[in-house]
Amino acid sequence: MEAVNFIAETSLKDNSIDLTFYNVHVFPKLLDYEVMQREEIVLILSEGHPLASKSVDKPGFKHPWVDLSLFSRENFILLYPDQNTGGIALKLFKDYDMDPPVLLHTRNSEMSIKLAMEGLGIAFAPESYYHMAASHGSQPSLCLSIGKS
């Protein structure tokens, strides 16, 4: 899905299309744009993960919140850095001064979510992607809020 963003932006720049809708984590400098909606990026893990108990209700967060730095030694399943969610993951790791092990890089966001739901690692995803996968999944899982605001 996220490869579509590159094609959409390229098509706008070469004037083969006039308008497109897509998600970004870095706003284009040479294009006019309007933010239509913002979506929380959540941390996904199996319900039985030992660090799940560290989550707390925190004002201003939609889901139970957890300190991302607690996961510094956990295996992550990440999208590639040129994909939106992969780029956001790298920024979060930098912000938290983390260099966690990466079990797998993939271009398939659904696969990263499902593997995390099954307990094979930790993943990041837009909240709506998680809810879609959870509605079709059989493994009990959690999505947690992260970040400072």
Question: What CATH number does residue 53 fall under?
Answer: 3.40.190.10
Under 8 Å between Cβ of 75 and 121: yes
Could you identify the residue written with the tokens 């996961």? 71
User: Do 15 and 79 fall into the same domain?
Assistant: no
In a domain? residue 149: no
Q: What is the pLDDT of residues 94-145, one digit of tens each?
A: 999 999 999 999 999 999 999 999 999 999 999 999 999 998 877 789 999 9
Query: Contact 148/65 with Cβ under 8 angstroms?
Result: no
pLDDT in tens, 6-41: 676 777 778 787 777 766 666 677 777 777 778 899
SS3 content of the chain, % helix, strand, coil (to 5): 35, 20, 50
Same domain membership, residue 16 and residue 53: no
Domain count, the chain: 2
Q: Are residues 104 and 51 in the same domain?
A: yes
Residues 3 and 73 in one domain: no
Whether 112 contacts 77, CB under 8 Å: yes
| Residues 116 and 79: beta-carbon distance below 8 Å | no
Residues 140 and 116 in one domain: yes
Output the pLDDT for position 3.
55
pTM of the model: 0.82
Residue 1 has pLDDT above 70, yes or no: no
Give per-residue pLDDT as tens, 81-91.
988 899 999 99
Which residues form the domain of 19?
Answer: 1-38
